[in-house]
Amino acid sequence: MSVTAIKKKLAPQAAPAPPALVRMAAPRTSIVQRGMPYMRGFAINVIPPVITLLALLLIWQLLCDRPGATLPAPTIVWNEAKDLILEPFFNLGSQDVGLGWRVLVSLERVLIGFGLAAIVGVLVGCLIGQSVWAMRGLDPIFQVLRTVPPLAWLPISLAAFRDSSPSAIFVIFITSIWPIIINTAVGIRNIPMDYRNVAAVLRLNAFEFFARIMIPSAAPYIFTGLRIGIGLAWLAIVAAEMLTGGVGIGFFIWDAWNSSRLPDIVVALFYIGFVGFILDKIVGALGNLATRGTAAS
Amino acid sequence: MQRPYLKIDHVCRSFARGSTSTEVLKDVCLTINKGEYVSIIGHSGCGKSTLLNMVAGLLPVSSGAILLEDHEVNAPGPDRAVVFQNHSLLPWLTVYDNVRLAVDKVFSSTRNKAERHDWTMHNLELVQMGHAKDRRPSEISGGMKQRVGIARALCMEPKVLLLDEPFGALDALTRAHLQDSVMAIHAALGNTVIMITHDVDEAVLLSDRIVMLTNGPSAHVGEILDVDLPRPRKRLELVANNQYIRAREGVLKFLYERTHFVDSAA
Ligand SMILES: Nc1ncnc2c1ncn2[C@@H]1O[C@H](COP(=O)(O)OP(=O)(O)OP(=O)(O)O)[C@@H](O)[C@H]1O
Ligand SMILES: [Mg+2]
């Protein structure tokens, strides 16, 4: 109220037109001034990683560019796997496709597996967070299961589904679901008593309480879980595809290893790392968007 | 004599921690008439919020009973709307949606969408918050949040309005403004109000009766003071009013003597 009042008071004072000369000069300076922080932000965020990257490439080059080196140097990678880097989306028949296509195939699997894990994980987490006994009983079990590596789930999942594609999705699902469940449950347990009291006075039913109170209040925790989950899911895809075959990026690495194409593997590693980075950023940004209100309180 | 509207009948409440249990309230008895404005005053930690929460139905009584229009209170509901000590707005909803949530819930079957919108806006205007309806609680000041909390409680058309230190965290000027709004609303709507406060002036200015709780543990109603000042009350005119001064003195004396008693007992 007081802010608007002050603004109203100030407005007429700002209104009188400044002299023409000043007015012409004003926009120019303001654009520069407005541009400066962005330029600075860009420089701060981009220059250090670029320098570090160049330095690392140099060290790598020095270490591997000598007779008897077991790993390919950057120059060798570039010479032998240039096409993979420059043309991610070529398509020469069913098995010979660019890394971009392979990443997309893997991404589809990850999104199905992770999407299922997100839905099931949030629902189970809500149930567990609501009940002290469920929390006490299930939490230790989850903490143990959470440490089982993706590759260990694969034989069980292959035995159960008898097909590689659902097995791979199941492995992603089971790897990424634990942090989602655990974080959601903690978020539900941390819903302030005040919000529960508000819901009680309004007599919200179970569904309204879930949608209007639980999910928004636990959203910061849920997104922390989702962010850890998507990272794990992307880790699992490589492991899963190495054994199940197909056109995914994981199988590509396995295939390259079997035909001793080390430079291809190096390029694929960069793809995987980069995509994982982007996935993490996307989930993080979604989280920021969704929890603006809650986080600010 | 008219039947009591709200009856608090020998209510006790204890909290158990492990094997020990402390009795916070013991044999609290109080009857409140329709349209009455009652303040509860007492030292910090004596069990005022506990009592209010039991009237709201958020806490069960250990023994005794609370009757509203001859029905026992045993669950929370919109007929006993609470303005919480710390406003408790939902931070992910706008000011409008915070009130609208309550309106939608209470009037889902009796009013259509347009009427519910109008009613939401009406209540926001009542506390002069219509202009900030699209802001989030994090973007408005403490006094504004408290006003939205009051609007949210009022919009439910409660039988009893429960205020838990509604102006506790506000500066003197904002507090005075809000007290005036609450007085005006009480005069216009005739709600039955129970208000917890620490502020003696506030209690005397607003209330028909002031209930003073003794110090815990085992707090009970120590004294009830009738405030017979005519309404509408103007705070500036009251400063020199003898009755006002005497009422103020009575409450202060009670509070001071109890503190004294505790000090010497400790
Ligand atoms: N859930 C609880 N478990 C155990 N003890 C509690 C609980 N809630 C309240 N108490 C105890 O009951 C007593 C009264 O608490 P209450 O919140 O009602 O005090 P209050 O009079 O509202 O104080 P204030 O004026 O500071 O708000 C306190 O001593 C507190 O420790
Ligand atoms: Mg209290």
A213 near A204, Cβ under 8 Å?
A: yes
Q: State how far the Cα of B216 lies from the Cα of B196, in Å rounded to an integer.
A: 16
- Could you tell me the two tokens for B8? 């608090």
pLDDT for position A7: 44
Average pLDDT over residues A280-292: 89
Give dist(CA B160, CA B4) in Å, integer: 13
- The token duo for B43 is 């030292």
A4 to B92: CB separation less than 8 angstroms, yes or no: no
Distance from CA of A232 to the nearest CA of B (A): 29
pLDDT tens for each residue of A184-217: 999 999 999 999 999 999 999 999 999 999 999 9
pLDDT of the residue at A244: 76
- Peptide bond between residue B232 and the one before it cis (omega within 30 degrees of 0): yes
pLDDT greater than 60 at residue B254: yes
The 10s digit of each residue's pLDDT in A6-54 is 444 444 444 444 444 444 444 455 555 666 777 888 888 888 889 999 9
The per-residue pLDDT for range A144-164, each reduced to its tens digit, is: 998 888 888 888 888 998 888
Domains along the sequence of chain B with CATH: 6-68+159-265 (3.40.50.300)
Q: Which residues contact ligand 1 via a Cβ below 6 A?
A: B 15, 24, 44-50, 216
Residue A296 has pLDDT above 60, yes or no: no
Q: B3 touching A, CB under 8 A?
A: no
Going by CA atoms, what residue is nearest to atom 26 of ligand 1? Answer: B44
- State the Cα–Cα distance between residues A146 and A228, nearest whole angstrom: 12
Least confident of A251-255, B212-216, B257-261: B257-261
Measured over the CA atoms of residue B169, residue B100, residue A296 and residue A120, the dihedral's sign is positive
Q: What is the DSSP letter of B16?
A: E
Residue position matching structure tokens 């028949």: A93
Checking A210-217 for CB contacts under 8 A at 24+ apart, the result is: A210/A126, A212/B90, A212/B101, A213/B90, A214/A126, A214/A188, A215/A122, A215/A126, A216/A293, A216/A294, A216/B90, A216/B92, A217/A187, A217/A191, A217/A192, A217/A294, A217/B90, A217/B92
Instruction: Take atom 2 of ligand 1 and give the residue whose Cα is closest.
Output: B15
Which of B86, B87, B92, B109 is the best mutation test for A, with the most CBs of A within 10 A? B92
Report d(CA A278, CA A276) in Å as an integer. 5
**Measured CA distances, A189 to A71, A180, A186, A244 (Å):** 50, 14, 5, 39
* pLDDT (0 to 100) of residue B87: 80
* Whole-angstrom distance, CA of residue A4 vs CA of residue A280: 40
Interface check A96 vs B, CB under 8 A: no
Q: How far is B105 from chain A (nearest CA, A)?
A: 7
Instruction: Collect all residues of chain B within an 8 Å Cβ-Cβ radius of residue A220.
Output: none
Show the CA angle centred on residue B194, arms to residues B188 and B196, nearest 5°.
Answer: 125
pLDDT tens digits, one per residue of B212-229: 998 878 888 988 999 888
Mutate which of B50, B61, B82, B220 for ligand 1? The one with the most ligand atoms within 8 Å of its CB, which is B50
User: Which 1-40 residues of chain A touch chain B by CB within 8 A?
Assistant: 1-2, 4
Q: Is A194–B88 a contact, with Cβ atoms under 8 angstroms apart?
A: yes
User: Ligand 2 mean position to A294 CA, how many Å?
Assistant: 25
Indicate the domain borders of chain A.
85-291
| Chain position carrying tokens 């406060």 | B197
- B131 chain-A contacts, CB cut-off 8 A: 1, 4
**Residue among B14, B24, B44, B54 whose CB has most ligand 1 atoms within 8 A, to mutate:** B24
d(CA A258, CA B94): 59
Q: How many other C-beta atoms can be found within 10 angstroms of the C-beta atom of residue B172?
A: 9
Among A3, A7, A201, which would you mutate to test the B interface (most chain B Cβ atoms within 10 Å of its Cβ)? A201
Taking the centre of ligand 2 as the mean of its atom positions, its distance from the CA of residue A149, in whole angstroms, is 50
The single-letter DSSP state of residue B63 is E
Given an 8 Å threshold on Cβ–Cβ distance, is B101 in contact with A202?
yes
Q: Are strands B37-41 and B209-213 parallel, antiparallel or unpaired?
A: parallel
DSSP secondary structure letters along A200-244: HHHT--HHHIIIIIIHHHHHHHHHHHHHHHHHHHHHHHHHHHHHH
Per DSSP, helices labelled H in A131-163 are: 132-145, 150-161
Structure confidence at residue B44 (pLDDT): 87
User: What's the CATH class of domain A85-291?
Assistant: mainly alpha
CA distance A292 to A208: 21
Q: How far is the CA of A152 from the centre of ligand 2 (A)?
A: 54
pLDDT tens across B153-190, in order? 989 989 899 999 988 777 888 888 889 888 988 888 88
Residues in B closer than 8 angstroms to A2, CB to CB, are 141
Mean pLDDT of B55-68: 93
For A220, name the nearest residue in chain B, comparing CA atoms only. B92
Q: Has this prediction a pTM greater than 0.80? A: no
B40 alpha carbon, closest ligand = 1
User: Which is more confident, A83 or B31?
Assistant: B31
Asked if B11 and B61 touch (Cβ cutoff 8 Å), the reply is: yes
Mean pLDDT of A271-291: 91
Instruction: Enumerate residues 32 to 71 of chain B having a beta carbon within 8 A of any beta carbon in chain A.
Output: 56-58
Residue of B nearest to A198 (CA): B88
Residue B248 has pLDDT above 70, yes or no: yes
What sign for the dihedral angle of Cα A117, A123, A128, A129? positive
- B102/A contact by beta carbon, under 8 A: yes
Put simply, the chain B residues between 112 and 171 with a CB less than 8 A from any chain A CB are: 128, 131-132, 136-139, 141, 144, 156
Nearest CB among B58, B80, B91 relative to A293 is that of B91
Under the banding of pLDDT at 50, 70 and 90, the label for residue B55 is: very high
CA distance A193 to chain B (A): 9
Which residue has the CA at smallest separation from atom 3 of ligand 1?
A: B15
pLDDT tens column, A48-105: 889 999 999 999 888 888 888 788 888 888 888 787 777 777 777 767 778 888 888 8
Q: Which residues of chain A neighbour B105 with C-beta distances below 8 Å?
A: 202-204, 208
A203 and B56 within 8 Å at the Cβ level: the answer is no
Q: What is the mean pLDDT of residues B59-78?
A: 91
